[in-house]
């Protein structure tokens, strides 16, 4: 394509507007839900670092004004989302989270200002390698930043927390930026790499959401129906099922032996009695012994009486 500064700025302006607007749904969703579950704070801080390197690169490379404004706004957005993660997910007190955010922002501003003057000084001496390094570092950090988010998706088995408006707007804005770079006198490889990577990895998140989220919803429905069934089962039946075997033959055998009506083994106190009483019942045995004792007394008395008569 023929270089055209006007078209480049116009397309970049559309991309900047989209990327600027993408932030509000994500921040608002976290604020409304009072939760950042499913959002990786590591991703947000790494993306803020990526924006830091890229906004330094954009200023020193003198990219389009809308692009420079947008990348600075992205830094603010990602830093704000990181502070929300500290407050909602990491249980930081609000004051502590704001202090962390303020210190982080001050360090980044000092880093950007010092880097811009340093890169311009290197450029004036005829070397642009450090400038290109900043661009590639930004691209690498963009990829690395999504790894913790992918792990969060793997851990939860679904895509949570992220605003779909944020994702779609990010992809469309990246496409406008990519097209705008085609109208530059010289194609900027570092810039196009970061835009392509951002769009591609966001597309992967959408694919994961289409695959995992329906499965997660089905899993929750099954778990809900199981919990309802368990809650409606009477406690007596639960206790019976837990304490008795399910096999009716085994259950009947256990009940049959438990009442002492049939036992092939001899009791500890001796053999079973002729009366069929439990051998552990000592009272009948004592009574029987008492009868025998009385019988002996009667027999001796009878013998004495016979002797007298004789």
Average pLDDT over residues 141-166: 86
Among 63-72, 161-170, 229-238, the minimum mean pLDDT is found in: 229-238
Mapping DSSP to helix (H, G, I), strand (E, B) and coil, where does residue 275 land?
Answer: coil
pLDDT band at residue 198 using 50, 70 and 90 as cut-offs: confident
Mean pLDDT of all residues belonging to the chain:
76
Output the CA torsion 152→154→160→166 (10° steps).
70
SS (H, E, C) 184-236: CCCCCHHHHHHHHHHHHHHHHHHHHHHHHHHHHHHHHHHHHHHHHHHHHCCHH
- pLDDT in the model for residue 299: 45
CB 45 within 8 A of CB 96: no
* 239: pLDDT strictly greater than 70: no
Q: Which residues contact 266 (CB under 8 A, 6 or more apart)?
A: 272, 279
Report domain extents, the chain: 5-230
Average pLDDT over residues 120-147: 85
- pLDDT in the model for residue 124: 86
* 231: pLDDT strictly greater than 70: no
Rounded distance, CA 267 to CA 277, Å? 12
pLDDT band at residue 63 using 50, 70 and 90 as cut-offs: confident
Rounded distance, CA 87 to CA 92, Å? 5
pLDDT band at residue 86 using 50, 70 and 90 as cut-offs: very high
**Total Cβ atoms within 10 A of residue 155:** 10
CB 97 within 8 A of CB 86: yes
Average pLDDT over residues 222-242: 63
- pLDDT in the model for residue 101: 93
Where are any strands of DSSP class E within 29-174? none
H helices within 125-163, ranges in order?
129-156
Select from 242, 145, 251 the least CA-distant residue to 201: 145
- pLDDT in the model for residue 246: 52
Average pLDDT over residues 21-33: 81
Q: Which two tokens stand for residue 139?
A: 């691209």
* 294: pLDDT strictly greater than 50: no
- pLDDT in the model for residue 290: 42
More confident residue, 15 or 239: 15
Q: At what angle do helices 94-124 and 129-156 cross, to 10 degrees?
A: 150
* 25: pLDDT strictly greater than 50: yes
pLDDT band at residue 243 using 50, 70 and 90 as cut-offs: low
More confident residue, 2 or 276: 2
More confident residue, 75 or 306: 75
pTM for this entry: 0.62
């Amino acid at each position: 394509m023929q270089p055209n500064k006007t078209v480049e700025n116009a397309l970049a302006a559309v991309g900047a507007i989209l990327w600027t607007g993408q932030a509000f749904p994500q921040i608002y969703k976290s604020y409304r839900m009072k939760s950042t579950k499913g959002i990786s704070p590591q991703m947000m801080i790494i993306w803020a670092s990526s924006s830091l390197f890229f906004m330094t690169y954009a200023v020193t490379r003198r990219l389009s004004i809308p692009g420079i404004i947008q990348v600075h706004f992205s830094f603010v957005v990602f830093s704000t989302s990181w502070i929300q993660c500290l407050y909602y997910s990491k249980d930081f007190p609000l004051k502590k989270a704001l202090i962390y955010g303020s210190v982080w922002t001050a360090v980044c501003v000092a880093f950007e200002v010092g880097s811009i003057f340093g890169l311009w000084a290197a450029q004036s001496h005829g070397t642009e390698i450090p400038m290109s390094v900043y661009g590639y570092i930004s691209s690498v950090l963009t990829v690395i930043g999504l790894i913790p988010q992918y792990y969060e998706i793997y851990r939860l088995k679904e895509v949570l927390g992220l605003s779909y408006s944020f994702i779609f707007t990010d992809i469309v804005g990246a496409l406008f930026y990519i097209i705008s770079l085609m109208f530059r006198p010289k194609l900027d490889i570092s810039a196009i790499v970061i835009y392509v990577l951002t769009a591609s990895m966001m597309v992967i998140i959408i694919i994961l959401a289409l695959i995992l989220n329906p499965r997660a919803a089905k899993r929750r429905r099954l778990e809900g129906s199981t919990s309802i069934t368990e809650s409606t089962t009477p406690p007596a039946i639960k206790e019976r099922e837990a304490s008795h075997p399910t096999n009716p033959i085994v259950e009947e055998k256990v009940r049959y032996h438990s009442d002492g009506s049939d036992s092939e083994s001899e009791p500890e106190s001796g053999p079973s009695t002729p009366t069929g009483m439990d051998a552990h019942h000592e009272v009948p045995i004592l009574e029987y012994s008492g009868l025998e004792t009385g019988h002996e007394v009667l027999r001796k008395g009878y013998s004495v009486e016979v002797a007298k008569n004789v």
